[in-house]
Amino acid sequence: MININTYNAAPDAYLRAAAIKNLCEKYNFLRQNVIGRSLCGRNIHALTIGSRKNPVLYAATFHGAEWINTLFMLRFTEEVCAAYEAKSCPEGVDVHKALQRRGLTVIPCVNPDGVEIQLRGSRSCVKYKRLIDSVSDGADIWQANARGVDLNHNFNAGFRELKRLERANNITSPSPTRYGGERPFSEPETIALRNLCLTNRFSFAIAFHSQGREVYCAYKNTPERSVLLGETFASLSGYKIAVPEKLATGGGFKDWMIGYMRTPAITVETGKGKNPLPLSVFLPEYERIRKAMFRCLLV
């Protein structure tokens, strides 16, 4: 069993698969499925515990340089499993009871290729190496998928307005960050998430990004439960409710969940500093958000 407490490496595809396998071997009630594959064929895993009815969704690492969130997801899943089995109440949450009523689905990494590019460079995505090399232009941050599409700009929410803003900011082609693609859902990673959300009626969703210690809950006619969820997370973690800058609105997963799926959703920006946040941030930041992650199961 890999103890995630002692993780001292970034969660690349190998480490992620090993951690998921170990969790599934230890907890036979943890259900694992592959909801899709990245452009380079890497698995996008979903882990589910408890009731299949209206589960809550926690999804992380839409952006390559934000892989620290995968560690938060794996650690949280491990703690939830332990509490579910022991029928214990971490942070005052009766996990077994809560998840019998409404399950939890965790996606540790939405953008597996982006993480590999961030960690190992373009050689980790051979098929797209030339494109990655030509657009990265010496940049040391890679947020997009393997063909330079920012997955959190590729959902069908305010897409036309987003394109207009991209053009105004001179973003017209594949890029390490912020290029939303030619059309919504042009990428296998966003299609995988869309299909998962269309086949599961999620009760609400939290998308984990980095960094800033902020919570975004507003989009158009923000549902009241998005606000409640955002305020709950913020008050328990000390994070601040914020409004994203213009180019970070529209095309996002949270926006699509609210606007199209009519499902309450928030974005959480974990940690503070410069992406990629170093491994040393993992445990102290997890401690900071742990209570919020458990208590939000009850919202």
Pick the closer one to Zn ion by CB: 35 or 277. 277
Q: Quote the tokens at residue 239.
A: 């994070």
Contact 194, 185 (CB under 8 A): yes
Q: Which two tokens stand for residue 38?
A: 């990245």
Residue 254 or 295 with smaller CB distance to Zn ion: 254
Write the binding mask 175 to 214 for Zn ion: x where contact by CB under 5 A, - elsewhere: ----------------------------------x-----
Residue 236 φ/ψ, nearest 5 degrees: -85, -15
Task: Give the CA distances from residue 111 to residues 13, 49, 221, in Å, rounded to whole numbers and listed in that order.
Answer: 10, 22, 28
* One of 16, 42, 63, 194 touching Zn ion (CB under 5 A): 63
Q: If you compute the radius of gyration of the chain from its CA atoms, what whole number of angstroms results?
A: 18
Nearest distance from C-beta of residue 123 to Zn ion, angstroms: 24
Decide if 37 contacts 44 (C-beta within 8 A). Answer: yes
When asked if residue 153 is in the footprint of Zn ion (CB under 5 A), the reply is no
Asked if 202 and 54 count as a contact pair (C-beta separation under 8 A), the reply is yes
The interface mask with Zn ion, positions 154-173, x = CB under 5 A, is --------------------
Which residues ranging from 15 to 44 are in contact with Zn ion (CB under 5 A)? Answer: none
Binding window for Zn ion (CB under 5 A); candidates: 35-43, 66-74, 159-167, 273-281: 66-74
Q: Judged by CB, which is closer to Zn ion: 114, or 174?
A: 114
The CA dihedral of 133, 144, 198, 205, to the nearest 10 degrees, is 160
> What residues line the site for Zn ion (CB under 5 A)?
63, 66, 209
